[in-house]
Copies of this chain bind each other. A is one copy, B any other.
Amino acid sequence: MPPAIDKTTDPATALARIADNSSVMVGGFGSPGTPFTLLAALLRRAPQGLTLIKNDANEQGIGVSTLMEAGCARRFVVSHMGLNSVVIEMMNQGELEVEMHPQGLLAEKIRAAGAGLAGILTDIGLETILRDQRQTMEFQGKTCIVEPSLRADAALVHAARADRWGNLVFEKTARNFNPLMATAADLVIVEALEIVDIGELDPDHIHLPGAFVDHVVPADASLPDYGVLKHHVAQA
């Protein structure tokens, strides 16, 4: 397989192009789909002034929260961080600038960037305090909020399986924002729990084609973050 087709590399090499003050999308909804291997490697690089974009803040000491706790982030674009009182406190103390969006609109803003659209027109939040911070327009007799698309310098993505060219398959609720973010950044780095040869994935069931992917790195399955978090298990 020629090197041009084989996108596999190690996390440090893949992350080298993420500079201070970059904007970085991070897949995952809660723990599932969070790229823990890539986040751990990025934390070791300790970049400064990042804008992080994720559905949620993970939880204290886990995933994207570790970057914010270490002071690597200046800004956080997010939908909900109810399980992370540390990050809420950073926001309340003014240590972190936070931009919040309705969850589905955050997904649509990212997807719109990936689809090369400048923005989308929605009525979500039109009768709420969100309207005050948003551009509105009259369209076909109705008032709409104009939401700009949301693109980032880099996206960190977690997949269950990837082939060496970056064709991706996600698993269960670990899919969430991952395939969307993988379309919406200039540099797309994927970690996969399993990396297979080209041709091993069913073409009808590839969730995202490799054209969107720049680097594929193996996820370190030994990290406890990939396991079941006991505090979220139902009590008998």
Asked whether any CB of chain B lies closer than 8 Å to the CB of A205, the reply is yes
How far, in angstroms, from A173 to B202 measured CA to CA in the complex? Answer: 14
Contact with A112, one of B118, B120, B171, B204 (Cβ below 8 angstroms): B120
Q: Does A47 contact B (CB under 8 A)?
A: no
Residues of B with C-beta under 8 A to A120: 112, 117, 119-121
Chain A interface residue count, CB cutoff 8 Å, equals 28
Chain A interface mostly: mixed
Question: Which chain B residues border A137 with CB–CB below 8 Å?
Answer: 137
Could you tell me if B171 and A204 are in contact, using CB atoms closer than 8 angstroms? yes
When the two chains form their complex, are residues A121 and B118 in contact, meaning their CB atoms are under 8 A apart?
yes
Q: Are B118 and A123 in contact (CB under 8 A)?
A: yes
Question: Which 6 pairs from chain A and chain B are nearest by CB?
Answer: A118-B121, A119-B121, A205-B205, A118-B144, A117-B120, A117-B122
Selected A-B contacts with CB under 8 Å, 8 pairs: A108-B115, A118-B142, A119-B139, A119-B140, A120-B121, A135-B139, A139-B146, A205-B205
Interface residues of A, Cβ cutoff 8 Å to B: 108, 112, 115-124, 135, 137, 139-140, 142, 144, 146, 148, 169-172, 202-205
Other than the known A117-B120, A117-B122, A139-B148, what 16 A-B pairs have Cβ atoms closer than 8 Å? A116-B122, A118-B121, A118-B123, A118-B139, A118-B140, A118-B142, A118-B144, A119-B120, A119-B140, A121-B121, A139-B146, A140-B148, A169-B204, A170-B204, A172-B204, A202-B205
